[in-house]
Amino acid sequence: MQASQHAAHAGHHEDDSHGHGPTGLMRWITTTNHKDIGSMYLWFSFAMFLVGGAMSLIIRTELLSPGLQYLSPEFYNQMLTLHALIMVFGAIMPAFVGFANWMIPMMIGAPDMAFARMNNWSFWLLPPAAILLTASLFVPGGAAGTGWTLYPPLSIQMGIGMDMAIFAVHILGMSSIMGSINIITTILNMRTPGMTLMKMPLFCWTWLVTAFLLIASMPILAGAVTMLLTDRHFGTSFFNAAGGGDPVLFQHIFWFFGHPEVYIIALPAFGVVSHVIPAFSRKHLFGYTSMVYAIAAIGLISFFVWAHHMYVTGIPLTGQLYFMYATMLIAIPTGVKVFNWVTTMWRGSLTFETPMLFALGFLVLFTIGGLTGLVLAMTAVDIQLQDTYYVVAHFHYVMVAGALFSAYAGLYYWLPKWTGHMYNEGLGKLHFWLSMIFFNIAFFPQHFLGLAGMPRRIPDYAQQFADFNMISSIGSFGFGFSQLLVLVVVFQAMKGGAKAEARPWDGARGLEWTVPSPAPHHTFEEPPPFDPAEAHG
Amino acid sequence: MSHPAPASRYFVPDPSHWPLVGSFALLLLATGAVLTMNSIANGGFVLMGGFAVMAVMLFGWFGRVIGESESGSYNLQVDRSFRWAMAWFIFSEVMFFAAFFGALFYVRVLSVPDLASPEQAGLWEGFKGQWPTAGPAAKDLFTPMHAWGIPAINTLLLLSSGVTLTWAHWGLVANKRQQLITGLALTILLGLVFIGLQAYEYAEAYSHLNLKMTTGVYGSTFFMLTGFHGFHVTLGATMLIVILLRTLKGHFTAERHFAFEAVAWYWHFVDVVWLGLFVVVYWL
Amino acid sequence: MAGLPGLFAGTANAAWELNLQAPATDLARRVYDLHSLLLWVIVVIFVGVFAVVAYSLVFHRKSKGHKAADFHDNTTVEIAWTVIPTLILIAIAFPATSTLVQMRDTSQPDMTIKVTGYQWKWGYEYVTGDAAGVKYMSVLSTPRDQIENKVPKGEHYLLEVDRPLVVPVGKKVRLLLTSSDVIHNWSVPAFAVKTDAVPGFLRDTWFRAEKEGTYRGQCSELCGKDHGFMPVVVEVVSAEKYAAWTADQKKAMAAVADDPAKVWKLDELVARGEKVYTANCAACHQPNGQGLPPAFPALDGSKIAKGPKAAHLDMVIKGKPGTAMAAFGAQLSDTDIAAVVAYERNAWNNKLGEVIQPAEVKALRGK
Ligand code: HEA
Ligand code: HEA
Ligand code: CUA
Ligand SMILES: [Cu+2]
């Protein structure tokens, strides 16, 4: 086995039919290949998306009309918590780690990730965490019913399911930290000669900053849930006023992680869009340098705004003012990014294939979500809107229409490179338009519900909220079932279809398009020459 | 074991089953811990099983890495990767401690004074809010840990262990193996004495000072901070022992010895954390 | 799109409400105006940005033969679109700051009321003012049958309580919020009030209602199973009505005050206990005593409810820390505790036939 491995490394291979190494299931379990691992991340993430999505549909079914129909209130809370945890940690984050695995080595001309074996572990830590989370539904007392924010003292009251969620978070944290160390090291140490940091594809830049955010914030979350665990089982008083602690302390620690977390979700999405828009505008990305600075600024500021989630907890006025101003600051670098994308399209030569449609959908809807975020940043207004559906609308605009749409843009953009086949453009466009329409039907009315005062996290509501909730639920069903189209598109492209060229998009730039489609199992065993024409910016 | 990669080429390891074993170990550990904490039968066995599988994984995986390293598979670029990775790993550890230091800061500067402030008087009549405190509802008296006894000695121990480790490193670079071995052994010894004293201090706290995990927020922060630190010292000492054993087997050269440096970085990090602890947990 | 709420404001009916609730205090009006301002700002930004996008989409497409220009940097515009947003933000920071400062000014109240959150009801205690000393619980009054869709829902479904908070119109009311178990949040949108009730801490907020009427809100922090079922209702009344209400309350308090020395008979006690049980315990342990295991244990046949009296009383008085079982000693009188425990020991299948006197509760409390 070792001997043939040696031979395999001797030269470039057109395909991956190695006679050596484990095959079948063992190939996937033991693989150290960044493309295999990237694919596993993406499949895992989609599976989790279906599970988390199914939970959201259960939620929306209960909310279809007033009164308690199908769920007990406890079960509703459990669905809510697992929906959020699974979507955030199981679906969206792994999806972008999957992109990172597949694309970063190919974009910078590296043979693989810096630590290929640890890379495998980062992935294989996810299933145990997913098992702990989903299994917690079936233990006595059920899953944690605290919302994904796990606030004590409510989380102190919970049963075994809470402990399982805590350990799941620990394991997810390990996975994220190892994955991030890998990504940072790969980017810093394995770029092909000539590719300076300021010539690096933007997706790599967003991931560089994201990985930093992860390494800095995941340990904080681990600390927070560790304190929860000892408060629950070992009699400590971190979050108990009688012992001199403070329940609000948890919120500070949680959101010190939680706010960077939302940019951990958003930044790689920005990265993908920064590739797709130039490609289909057939122009260079406008303002590469300011994009890089904006990414860095967003990453940095995100550590100093956490208490905008805590305006109603009774923090002092000076605190509220500081966090309000700091939060407003983030609009500036984010605005720079939006303007740069807009200007990239300006006087371009635009075409509207599915990746571009999703990128445009992202641009419109993310901006709406960002602007409502700005409304929420104003403390006095947030006090009206905190814990209402306005917040729910805000974050689904930035996370579903923002992150998820951008992930779809990336999927359609790179699918030819992965499978070697063009996807079915008609189905892709159908998927986009259904998603776009139903998404807005599902989530736009939630702004009105929130303004009118409907609290979030309730299984039943007053009658004046009935109409918009019904609309929202119908939209959610439409949106959810439209997502199954992706499976069809991906399976078709894996099975066959028009042969994809090495560079299927004429406006696309970057080293990944210099290798054949499908990308051979091993790319760039020797660092490729860096062609400035492939550089970004 | 593995094929030596040409010096120009980045080393990509063969497929490996160790990650999966590691994941399985963590699943067992988590399940075992959940069961034990909720006093459900057999939790202890599952937990022990988890530790056992974990130990097997660590031996197997690190054994593999050491083999690859000794067979010369790692070129200078790989070496740089290791450096970046270790640095970022230590940074993540720093952030983990930051959460607990942050909690200590918060209770001392914000929540305890707030609980004792006139605004809260309706709830906690007569609470003075002087640090250290077990909180406004505490009934039992306890004695806080003084800085200038064992903790001060421990500070000296750790600081000198940093010196002996650097001395060992000098030995390694200058190819003086005996100095390397003596330095390492001394460092380990100092580390072990530190752990011993820490254990003694805990025993004192529980038996004579009435200072426990449950002693309000003082006990919570005290034991969590010093406990996690002690755990890291234990890890560091274990890693030093591995390095010592490898040295005795003739590993490491004056030029290439990243494993030694990584452990040294880690040890210095643990050292620095202790200084922080000594100042804010024991002294102030 | 984001402009819709602004355009439709005013024409909306109750069911299709598109904007913040009609303000009932000066502060709420300022918040309303601030929100309207922000809405216009973001609508203008949105329209501005996407007008440019729309132009590109229409005129710069390949299918129309447009050739891509070749530019990728322009320091002037990049500075412009950093500076202009900054100026816009600075401009909106002024009204945002002054509104917030007003919101936090709880000084010189006309009266103070302490509000305590319980799983899942609100406790009100008038601390200063004419009604000082008045103290009661406020619980959702929507019948179970409406929630379970067995009968048609009433007009104020889920937003109605047995005893609302009563305050006089035009007076500055300061609220002191705390909680006995988990974090709750006392919120009335029409007053622009929303503040967490954090266990172990007191937080304050205030409002000055301008018009008489009934104002409704809901607990706005996830607090467990019945978080959706703990509404806030405030009744704002004229000074005269408030005086009358205060007098009534004081009289009623004197009337129900129990004689602690009274010796109770079993059936009296059980009848009283059933009421206490329904109001305080049934949410978790269920009217039929079966609970919702494993989160909330059954009392019917439970070891404690059939075991020694003292342990049972102790559980109710001191609760069980770290679980949802609160220390009811702080909420209920000796008589009520005696009654509810006696009820539990005699209801369902727990037919123990025991009587418990308030004096026994009093004796146990000290320990
Ligand atoms: C991807 C995730 C993501 C992103 C990117 C954002 C982005 C932002 N968010 Fe959001 N947010 C969440 C995810 C996200 N959020 C989640 C999950 C929650 C709820 C958590 C929970 O409670 O469960 C939340 C909650 C939340 C709150 C708390 C609400 C509450 O609970 O009461 C606030 C308050 O300040 C806020 C603000 C903002 C702001 C100011 C931005 C800014 O970054 C937006 C910046 C973007 C723009 C402003 C648009 C583009 C800019 C221009 C076109 C330039 C011109 C603009 C101006 C001059 C104004 N968010
Ligand atoms: C990135 C994260 C993410 C994503 C993608 C989503 C996606 C969705 N969310 Fe999510 N949501 C959150 C993160 C996310 N959410 C968070 C953080 C909260 C806060 C939780 C809290 O308060 O603590 C929340 C809360 C939340 C609420 C508020 C509940 C409440 O406060 O009471 C609602 C209600 O409408 C909702 C709905 C939806 C819907 C309809 C989708 C849809 O977009 C989902 C569409 C996808 C599908 C439906 C999958 C398709 C599957 C099928 C069609 C069938 C299934 C088949 C099989 C399993 C084989 N979400
Ligand atoms: Cu009380 Cu929610
Ligand atoms: Cu935030």
Q: Quick check: B122 and C201 CB within 8 A?
A: no
Rounded CA separation B230/B92 (Å): 17
Q: How far is C123 from chain A, CA to nearest CA, in Å?
A: 19
Domains and CATH numbers, chain A: 26-534 (1.20.210.10)
Confidence of residue C11 (pLDDT cuts 50, 70, 90): very low
Asked whether residue B1 carries a pLDDT value surpassing 70, the answer given is: no
Report the residue of chain B nearest A246, measured CA to CA.
B111
Residues 111-130 of B with CB under 8 A from C: 114-115, 119-120, 122-124
Helix (H) or strand (E) holding C187: strand C184-188
3-state secondary structure labels for all residues of A403-436: HHHHHHHHHHHHHHHHHCECCCHHHHHHHHHHHH
pLDDT at A116 over 50: yes
CA triple A409-A410-A416, angle to 5 deg: 105
Residue A184's φ and ψ, nearest 5 degrees, are -60, -45
Residue B14 in contact with partner chain C when CB distance is under 8 A:
no
Nearest C-alpha in B relative to C114: B122
Q: Tell whether ligand 2 has an atom less than 6 A from the beta carbon of residue A478.
A: no
Distance (Å, whole) CA A108 – CA A106: 6
Q: Which of A121, A208, A227 to mutate to test the interface with B (most CBs of B within 10 A)?
A: A121
**Residues of A with Cβ-Cβ distance to C207 under 8 angstroms:** none
Average pLDDT over residues A193-220: 94
If we measure between CA atoms, which residue out of A47, A80, A70, A57 comes closest to residue A481? Answer: A57
Edge to edge, the sheet with strand C135-138 lists C135-138, C121-126, C111-118, C173-179, C203-207
Q: Interhelix angle for C75-103 vs A317-345, to 10°?
A: 150
pLDDT in tens, C146-191: 999 898 888 899 999 999 999 999 999 999 999 999 999 999 999 9
Q: Given this model, what pLDDT does residue B8 score?
A: 65
Instruction: Give the tens place of pLDDT for each residue, C214-267.
Output: 999 999 999 999 999 999 999 999 999 999 999 988 888 777 766 777 778 888
DSSP per-residue letters across C212-258 = -EEEEEE--S--STTGGG-EEEEEEE-HHHHHHHHHHHHHHHHHH--
How far apart are alpha carbons B162 and B156 in whole angstroms? 10
Report d(CA A222, CA A215) in Å as an integer.
Answer: 11
**Where does residue C298 rank: exposed (0-12), middle (13-18), buried (19+ CB within 10 A)?**
middle
C-alpha distances in angstroms, A21 versus A36, C37, C246? 14, 65, 85
Going by C-alpha positions, the residue among A148, A32, C140, B92 that lies closest to residue A18 is A32
What is the spatial distance between Cα C220 and Cα C206, in angstroms, rounded to a whole number? 17
Question: For residue A269, which atom of ligand 1 is closest to its CA?
Answer: 1
pLDDT-derived band at A27, boundaries 50, 70, 90: confident
d(CA B11, CA B24): 27
Closest Cα of chain C to A242: distance in Å? 7
User: Which residues in chain B have Cβ-Cβ distances shorter than 8 Å to C176?
Assistant: 122
Mutate to test the interface with B, among C116, C127, C201, C323 (most CBs of B within 10 A): C201
Using CB atoms within 10 A of its CB, is residue C50 exposed (0-12), middle (13-18) or buried (19+)? middle
Residues of C with CB under 8 A from a CB of B: 114, 176, 178, 200-202, 204
* Lowest-confidence pick of A204-213, B76-85, C33-42: B76-85
* CB-CB neighbors (< 8 A) of C58 in chain A: none
Q: Whose CA is nearest to atom 30 of ligand 2?
A: A457
How far is the C-alpha of B186 from the C-alpha of B165, rounded, in Å? 8
- The amino acid sitting at A350 is L
Q: In chain B, which residue's Cα lies nearest the Cα of C199? A: B123
Eight-state DSSP code of residue C366: T
Q: Is C307 in the pocket of ligand 1 (CB under 6 A)?
A: no
Residue C3 DSSP SS3: coil
Burial class (CB in 10 A: 0-12, 13-18, 19+), C84: middle
pLDDT tens digits for range A214-271: 999 999 999 999 999 999 999 999 999 989 999 999 999 999 999 999 999 999 999 9
User: How many beta carbons lie within 10 A of that of residue A276, not counting itself?
Assistant: 29
Confidence of residue C366 (pLDDT cuts 50, 70, 90): low
Instruction: List phi, psi (to 5°) of C364.
Output: -70, -35
pTM recorded for the entire structure: 0.92
* CB B88, CB B21: distance < 8 Å: no
- CA–CA dist A415, A419 (Å, integer): 6
Residue B122 and residue C200: Cβ atoms within 8 Å? no
- Cβ of residue A404 lying under 6 Å from some atom of ligand 2: yes
Residue C56 CA, distance from chain mean position = 49
| Interhelix angle A202-233/A288-301, nearest 10 degrees | 10
Annotated catalytic sites of A, by residue? 83, 112, 148, 175-176, 259, 261, 263, 274, 308-309, 334, 337, 456
Pocket test for ligand 1, best of A80, A96, A302, A309 (most atoms within 8 A of CB): A309
Averaged pLDDT, A338-358: 94
- Mean per-residue pLDDT for A121-128? 95
Q: Which residue of chain C has the CA closest to B119?
A: C202
Sign of the four-CA dihedral C224, C183, A323, A214: negative
Asked whether the predicted pLDDT for residue B2 surpasses 50, the reply is no
